[in-house]
Structure 1
Amino acid sequence: MDAIQLPKSWSVDRILDDLDQHGFSIVDDAYETEYIVDLIAECTHNLARFRDAAIQNGIVSNIRSDHILWLNPDLKVSNQHVQMLEILGQALNRAFYLGIKDVEAHFACYNAGEFYALHKDNPQGKNGRMISSVYYLHDEWQADWGGELRLQDKNGAWHVLAPKPNRMALFQSDLLHEVLLAKHQRLSITAWLRSDSGII
């Protein structure tokens, strides 16, 4: 069996350089059309299973209003994306000695009017999240639909990244970021490359 390889659009050297210089990287045209169609189908087929992400362990958060479904090996299409991130994690370990051991991920759905306020995925190194990833899997996005990722890079500069279809954003998990108010349903896979085993 041939070893699984990253898509050609995932230029590892460029990703490593971007992360080193700025703390984030953008990959456009991440996957081939056939895979995207299957991935969107898997996500939308399971939308009824999504839960309110603001409620965790019975506690309601007021900083987010999206809905999520944690990925597992039974979701075979999206699991291929997780496998790609695992391969990328090995390259990140070789370059930055991050000690990445695991990838945790979920589908995310932001309906019109939903958002995620300013936060860090790993504040003050309190968990094993090293690199965060957002892959946008809706098949269309217009400029006035909102839902952008607003991110402060490692040098203190702010960036507003449009959720273009088939785009992936990678960034250090200790960077400040937020999802601006969506005005249209916005679908994605959010993932974290971790230096421990993620607890879902």
Structure 2
Amino acid sequence: METAFLPKSWPVDQILDDLDQHGFSIIDDAYPAEYIHALVEECMSNLNKFRDAAVQNGVISKIRSDHILWINDTLDVAQEHVQALEHLSEQFNRAFFSGIHEVEAHFACYNAGEFYALHKDNPQGKNGRVISAVYYLHEHWQADWGGELRLQDKNDVWHILEPKPNRIALFQSDLLHEVLEAKHQRLSITAWLRNDNAMW
């Protein structure tokens, strides 16, 4: 996949307008089929390295039950997605003066029965997360398999976003959201576009 520029399927003007008006945006049909297949293969081949996301520094969180693997330079296919988000960050910086200078990301696996309760990725501006980006990388999904993203937009309107294959959900990191219980294994990449002093 070519990442020197943003994928042509990404409607940048619409994304900017959606974020400005509502605080979130959706990109469907984000990548070519061959890239999705390679990304799923990379994710599945590394599932044995995923860790319980609820355990951090020996402390168990009760609000989440998914499993994650942080993306580094050894995960070449996933790095291409991170690079695309870096190019998108340049658009955000021009439009919103966001000051984004870094993208951090991890694979996430929600097995049947797993969830992530209501939370904010950047509560009260306590970290540098400006925009959150969830990419659904499974190749097949059915509406009754759960795992939806439930999100409150900047106008306090609630939305339920289905984890359709090859979809990216972008939203302000200070918005309240949750992942509803999955009834089937759900794979994704969660990323955060970061700065040190986000002003929204």
CA drift at 1:30: 0.2
**Partner SS for 2:192:** strand
| 1:135-192 Cα distance to aligned partner (Å, 9 max, x none) | 0001111011000000000000000000000000000000000000000000000000
Tell me the alpha carbon deviations over residues 69-125 of structure 1, each in whole angstroms, 9 at most, x when there is no partner.
000011000000000000000110000011101000000000000000000000000
CA–CA separation in structure 2 for the residues paired with 1:173 and 1:6: 22
Contact 2:3 2:80 in 1 (8 A): no
**Displacement after TM superposition at 1:3 (Å):** 7.4
Unpaired runs of at least 5, structure 1: none
Partner of 1:138: 138
Alpha-carbon RMSD: 1.0
Q: Distance in 2 between matches of 1:182 and 1:100?
A: 32
Asked if structure 1 preserves the Cα contact closer than 8 Å seen for 2:9 and 2:30, the reply is yes
Aligned ranges for residues 91-130 of structure 1 at < 5 Å? 91-130=91-130
Q: Is the 8 A contact 2:3 2:83 kept in 1?
A: no
Query: Secondary structure at the residue paired with 1:156?
Result: coil
Specify the alignment match of 2:24 in structure 1.
Answer: 24
Cα distance in structure 2, aligned partners of 1:171 and 1:3? 22
Equivalent in the alignment of 1:77: 77
Aligned to 1:88, the other structure's residue is in SS state: helix
Aligned to 2:35: 35
Could you tell me which runs of 5 or more consecutive residues in structure 2 were left unpaired when the two chains were aligned.
Answer: none
Q: Structure 1 residue 180 and structure 2 residue 180: aligned?
A: yes
**Equivalent-residue separation in structure 2 for 1:96 and 1:155 (angstroms):** 18
Letter in 2 for 1:25: S
The separation in 2 between residues aligned to 1:144 and 1:26, in whole angstroms, is 20
Look up the SS of the partner of 2:188 in the other structure. Answer: strand
**Equivalent position of 2:194 in the other structure:** 194
Distance, in Å, in 2 between the alignment partners of 1:9 and 1:58 is 42
- Deviation, 1:8, is 1.3
Q: Which amino acid aligns with 2:119?
A: H
Q: Which amino acid aligns with 2:13?
A: D
Amino acid at match of 2:67: H
Question: Normalised by the size of structure 1, how large is the TM-score?
Answer: 0.96
C-alpha distance in structure 1 between counterparts of 2:136 and 2:70, whole Å: 16
Q: Distance in 2 between matches of 1:92 and 1:73?
A: 24
Q: Any idea what SS the aligned residue of 2:131 has? A: strand
Partner Cα distance (2:81, 2:113) in 1: 28
Residues of 2 paired with 1:141 and 1:89: CA distance?
28
Alignment of 1:152-171 (within 5 A): 152-171=152-171
- The ranges of structure 1 where at least 4 consecutive aligned residues each deviate by more than 6 angstroms after the TM superposition are none
Q: Aligned AA for 1:37?
A: H
Shift, 1:5, TM fit? 1.0
3-state secondary structure, aligned to 1:188: strand
| Rounded Cα–Cα distance in structure 2 between residues aligned with 1:12 and 1:74 | 29
Q: Shift of the alpha carbon at 1:67?
A: 0.0
Any idea what SS the aligned residue of 1:154 has?
coil
Shift of 1:11: 1.0
